[in-house]
Amino acid sequence: MSTTIGKNKSTTDAVMERDNFACFRCGASILTRIHVLHERRPGPALGTVANTIILCGNPTTECNQKVRANPVLSQKLGYSIPPTADPLRVPVFHYAHGFVLLDRAGSWHRAHQRVIDGWEDECD
Ligand SMILES: [Zn+2]
């Protein structure tokens, strides 16, 4: 598997490699479970690597359902961002690394830590 992100690499491939084929929120492997490529922001950023994370489940199960069912918390955690916000500038909470900023090329770096009330991780 190549680690070079080039112009020919699809958004899907770049996101899968960046997230190591695991749910961004809980870390569950998505190789053997239903998952989605979740668009953090609706609109013009659709399909860009920084705007996309892997979530386990479908709209009614697991992390995908939790993100949809908790819009306020999901926005605090960066899973959902306002239409006017730049996905490159909004940190998103990774299950293992904490808050990170995602880039266009399929990499991430740590963001300033945020304090979150009410976050829970119960996928297994
Ligand atoms: Zn999950």
Q: Would residue 2 count as lying in a domain?
A: no
Please name the residues in contact with 45: beta carbons below 8 A apart, sequence gap of 6 or more.
39, 51, 86, 87
* Selection from 47, 6, 12 nearest residue 30 by Cα: 12
Do the domain assignments include residue 39? yes
| Number of domains the chain is built from | 1
pTM for the whole thing?
A: 0.82
Q: Is residue 81 part of a domain?
A: yes
State the Cα–Cα distance between residues 116 and 114, nearest whole angstrom.
6
Distance 56 CA to ligand 1 centre (A): 4
Phi and psi, residue 35, nearest 5°? -155, 170
CA of 9 to the centre of ligand 1 (A): 25
CA of residue 2 to ligand 1 center, whole Å = 25
Give me the domain span that covers residue 33: 11-110
Q: How far, in Å, is the centroid of ligand 1 from the Cα of 20?
A: 13
71 within some domain: yes
pLDDT in tens, 3-50: 444 445 788 999 999 999 999 999 999 999 999 999 999 876 667 999
Judge residue 69's burial from the number of C-beta atoms within 10 Å of its C-beta, 0-12 exposed, 13-18 middle, 19 or more buried.
exposed
pLDDT digits (tens, 9 = 90+) for 48-73: 999 999 999 999 999 999 999 999 99
